[in-house]
Amino acid sequence: MINRFSLVSFFTLLVSLFVLSTSVAFAQGVGVRITPALIEETLDPGVSVEYDFNVVNLDTAEQTYYLFTRNITGVAEGGAPIFARDELEVTGYELADWITLPTNRIVVPGGGTESITFTMDVPDNASPGSHFGGVFVSAEPPEIENSGAAVGYQVANIVSIRVSGDAVEQAGIRQFSTGKFLYGAQDVDFNVRIENSGNVLVRPIGPLQINNSLGKQVGEVMFNENQAGVFPNGSREFDLQWIGDSVGFGRYEAILSAGYGGEGAKKTMSSTVTFWVLPYNIILPALGILAFILLVTVIGVRMYIKRTLAQMNAGRRLVRRKGQQNSSMNLLLIVTVLIVIALFLLIMLVLFA
């Protein structure tokens, strides 16, 4: 169960875990901002580092804020962090205990800013890989917030520390699919689910290439251009859209190739999916033309058969009958050629559109 902020007379804006650069919370016309909203660094075990962040009071009146830390236990759909309710929730990626705040209570004048310096002490036996937590600024003490009686607001920044050592970077594409198999235009939506089976945060990024039935590249979309992160031992969904610049016709193949990892240790993952584009504004008229040609062919053959039978019953001369039969055969041949040409043009449209 994720940490829940009070739903009585307040609104909370919580930063996305790995993308946003500022953090703001609002309630009943007041607000507070934390900058920076994301602190991310690689540290060695046993080191002690100081970090600064600013608390900005967006209200015109003086406000009292309470400071406390919490671990992050995972990431919800859409990238929002899931904060632990208490110290009993463990994941192996905690760091809240590593943070020492200079105070647990500050007073910020209306429109003012207070700078906070906290210390990050990485234990000597810290496990390699990523560790996550956050520093909260709340209008209510944490004990009131935990009781469920809080009516204030709170906001947190994100602290992501990667402890150097024998970390495991391992991720893969668990799912790569389109919204549907058949599209009426080059407007295709993709869904990608990345699974991180390692113990460090990964930020996969790479091209999604679109090829037509001849293997020619006709489009490209950058996957995870904002470099959103995937939590260790977790997964995350990404949605993409490709809009082509031509009519499009036939079978297409989408190839996703994404890379992740630090410099000198880059890894890649790839997957493919196929789909069809059949524009109805072209298909329906083409089918109508083919249906008309086939109808003319059927009528022509039936007329030829009736004429031949009539000639035989009337006892006309063989030479004349043979000449008329040749005329009917020529008509049938012309219609057949027209059908072949129409089918050929349709195939060319499928291959090269």
Residue-wise pLDDT tens digits, 195-216: 999 888 899 999 999 999 888 9
Report the mean per-residue pLDDT for the chain.
79
Indicate whether 260 pLDDT > 80: yes
0.75 exceeded by the pTM?
Answer: no
CATH 2.60.40.10 describes domain 171-277 = yes
- pLDDT for res 324: 52
Instruction: Note the pLDDT of residue 288.
Output: 72
By the 8 A CB rule, do 220 and 236 touch? no
The pLDDT of residue 223 is 96
* Phi/psi at 327 (5° precision): -65, -40
Pairing of strands 217-223, 187-196: unpaired
pLDDT of res. 8: 29
Q: Which residue has the higher pLDDT, 43 or 20?
A: 43
> How far apart, in whole angstroms, are the C-alpha atoms of residue 156 and residue 67?
9
> Residue 136 pLDDT > 50, yes or no?
yes
| Most confident of the ranges 3-17, 255-269, 294-308, 333-347 | 255-269
348 vs 17, higher pLDDT: 348
Q: What is the pLDDT of residue 131?
A: 92
Tell me how far apart the alpha carbons of residues 161 and 198 are, in angstroms, rounded to a whole number. Answer: 15
Predicted confidence band at 254 (pLDDT cuts at 50, 70, 90)?
very high
Q: What number does CATH give the domain 23-163?
A: 2.60.40.10
Percentage of residues in the chain having pLDDT higher than 70: 73
Min mean pLDDT across 211-215, 221-225, 321-325 is at: 321-325
Question: Which residues, 6+ apart, have CB-to-CB distance to 193 below 8 Å?
Answer: 173, 174, 175, 176, 235, 236, 237, 238
pLDDT tens digits for range 75-133:
776 667 788 876 666 777 889 999 999 999 999 999 999 999 999 999 999 888 899 99
Secondary structure letter of residue 94 according to DSSP: B
